[in-house]
Homo-oligomer: A and B are copies of this chain.
């Protein structure tokens, strides 16, 4: 057995996004119990100049679609960032899961050597697929999923790390 670009990306994204859906269900149940609107959580943030929960979900899923598309040598699909409600945010996560389910291991074969060009801070930066996955896509993805979790945790939602890890 050897490790593959597919194994390091698609099952990882799938697992963490599935856990995130379950975390959002717990948040919604808590909101119903306490009788507040989940839009409060969608707009919650950890610092005034940090993006809110809904933005964390959008960017986490952006990294998913960006990563698997670029590694497969495909156009990155454009998804308008219009989601606000929990239902809309869950639909966006599901859209990312649906995209992941279409990726075959063979689509990413050899993608460790594929040259990936990104716009970072206005500059074009080119790196190989392995560097892109390990130094850009995964740390960014985990950053936004963890921050989404932390925003809910900071707002009293009864979740624990086991919900995050799955």
The one of B1, B130, B142 in contact with A112, judged by C-beta atoms closer than 8 angstroms, is: B1
The answer to whether A126 has its CB under 8 Å from any CB of chain B is: no
B residues within 8 A CB of A3?
3-5, 8, 112, 130
The segment from A29-37, A80-88, A97-105, A132-140 that touches chain B is A132-140
Interface of chain A: mostly helix, strand, loop or mixed = helix
A159 to chain B: closest residue by CB: B47
Chain B residue contacts of A50, Cβ below 8 A = 153
Number of interface residues of A (CB under 8 A): 36
Kindly report how many copies of this chain are found in the complex they form together.
Answer: 2
B contact residues around A142 at 8 Å (CB) = 138-139, 142-143, 146
Report A27-83 residues with CB < 8 Å from chain B CB: 46-47, 50
A150: interface (CB < 8 Å)? yes
A22 to chain B, nearest CB (A): 15
Distance of A7 Cα from B164 Cα, bound (Å)? 25
Instruction: List 29 A-B pairs, Cβ < 8 Å.
Output: A1-B112, A1-B113, A1-B128, A2-B2, A2-B112, A8-B8, A8-B134, A12-B135, A12-B139, A16-B139, A46-B46, A46-B150, A46-B154, A47-B153, A47-B156, A50-B153, A135-B165, A136-B165, A138-B142, A139-B164, A139-B165, A142-B146, A143-B146, A143-B149, A143-B164, A143-B165, A146-B146, A147-B150, A150-B150
